[in-house]
Amino acid sequence: MELFSMDWFSALLSIIIIDLVLAGDNAIVIGMAARNVPKDHQKLVILSGTAGAIIIRVLATFVVVWLLNIPGLHLIGGLLLIWIAYKLMVDHKDHEVDAKNSIMSAIGTIILADAAMGIDNVLAVAGAAHGDYTLVITGLLISIPLVVWGSTMILKLLERFPVVIMIGAGVLAYTAAKMITSEGFLDAVFTNSIVKWGFVLVVVVATLWAGKHKQNSQIKETA
């Protein structure tokens, strides 16, 4: 992908949206894990824990980008992203994380929690980057301030404008469909551009419809 081309900026926009809707949970977890640490040490805990989490996420993202070169993994990754997009719309997380009193314990909790919760983010960013490491790096640089400083802002944004979740799920579904259509052994299936973009449209619409249908069912069950 040519640097700073329209395709590059389009992929970067996808990564920014992905980071926006997926980094919120991680940011909240960081704040909760550090809440019992003495006030004068909380900034150190948050920065140290986040630094460790970022290092792991950088390494994991580069590994995933490399793994996506293996035949079949674009298809597997795409299917996983469709599931993540669906779960993003229907899951209601309570963000319950053990708060640690000691500095090292809190830092460890942040790193482990982010590693566990960041899998969806890593896979989505790697898929949206289409193997372009400059996009991977740019996406990660954008996600750092979101994770460190953005928890309150993101939470309020998602609560006030639920449509952001829909947009994020749509971008994830679009990224998933693009990953599947770029799978090497499926080239013959998606040679025709109408078939390719028709498939992408069906995946996005079906994912959003399924998520919305589940949301409505959950509302009826709790009514």
Q: CA-CA distances (angstroms) from residue 105 to 37, 101, 122, 136?
A: 10, 7, 24, 30
Query: pLDDT band at 204, cuts 50/70/90?
Result: very high
Determine how many CB atoms are found less than 10 A away from the CB of residue 114: 25
Q: What pLDDT does 205 receive?
A: 96
Inform me whether the pLDDT recorded for 194 exceeds 70: yes
CB 49, CB 111: distance < 8 Å:
yes
pLDDT of 104-151, one tens digit each?
777 777 677 666 656 667 777 777 777 777 887 777 777 666 666 655
102/53 Cα distance (integer angstroms)? 18
Length of the chain: 223
Query: pLDDT band at 176, cuts 50/70/90?
Result: confident
Q: What pLDDT does 206 receive?
A: 95
> Taking the alpha carbons of 101, 120, 132, 150 in that order, is the dihedral positive or negative?
negative
Q: What pLDDT does 143 receive?
A: 67
The more confidently predicted of residues 210 and 117 is 210
101/34 Cα distance (integer angstroms)? 8
What is the reported pTM? 0.67
Inform me whether the pLDDT recorded for 2 exceeds 90: no
Mean pLDDT of the chain: 76
pLDDT of 59-87, one tens digit each?
877 888 787 778 888 888 888 888 878 88
Q: What pLDDT does 101 receive?
A: 59
Residue type (1 letter), 165: I
8/1 Cα distance (integer angstroms)? 6
- The residues, ordered by sequence, that sit 6+ positions from 89 with a Cβ below 8 Å of its Cβ are 165, 166, 169, 208, 211, 212, 214, 215
Residue 95 Ramachandran class (φ > 0 left, ψ -120 to 50 alpha, else beta): left
pLDDT of 7-47, one tens digit each?
888 887 887 777 766 665 566 666 666 666 777 777 777 77
Q: CA 133: distance to chain centroid?
A: 17
166/20 Cα distance (integer angstroms)? 12
